[in-house]
Homo-oligomer: A and B are copies of this chain.
Amino acid sequence: MTSSPKIETKAEPKIEPKDRKLSSFLCFAVYSANLAFGRAYKPILDKVGLTYTQYIALIALSEADELTVSALGEKLFLESNTLTPILKKLELSGYIRRARDPADERQVRVSMTPAGRRLLDEDITVSLKDATGLGDEFPVVQKSVARLRDNLLRNTQGEAKKA
């Protein structure tokens, strides 16, 4: 769309600086959609005393138990500086347990408590699937956004980690 090459120009002939509408920014769509998700989850999660991030971390843990902090972080794209306080709160809430691995005392193994498992089995977020209003598109959008994320991480992690 940016290039409709009738005649070959060296660079862009002329770019209007004005046509940078916020609505055209994919990053803003994702940013604001994330805010919207947080607000949608809030009244539901308030009832069980969890935050949005804590709930997501709990789901990640439900897939594979006894994960280390860094292994959990790989699933969530987070590191210990973010994860540690969250896990401490989840432990305080009684949904998970944290314990140093006897085989390697540097590592912390995180596991779900029965209370945590019970919470997820309730499936408190069923109502939200309708709220997305995506219908059959739901899995398509989900995959597109996941692909977007993976592309962004791959194409920038290169610079971040390389430096």
Contact = CB atoms under 8 A, between A and B. Distances in A.
Interface string A17-47: 1101111111111111111110111110000
Given A20-B123, A21-B63, A120-B17, A32 B144 contact: no
| Range, interface on chain A | 35 or more
B137 A144 contact: yes
Q: Which applies to chain A's interface (DSSP): helix, strand, loop or mixed?
A: helix
Contacts of A134: 26, 144, 147-148, 151
Count of identical protomers in the assembly: 2
Interface stretch (A86-94, A95-103, A154-162): A154-162
- Which A-B residue pairs are the 9 nearest by beta carbons? A133-B151, A33-B149, A131-B155, A36-B152, A29-B145, A34-B34, A40-B156, A26-B142, A29-B146
Interface of A: 1-3, 15, 17-18, 20-37, 39-43, 52, 56, 59-60, 62-63, 75-78, 117, 120-121, 123, 128, 130-134, 137-142, 144-149, 151-157, 159-160, 163
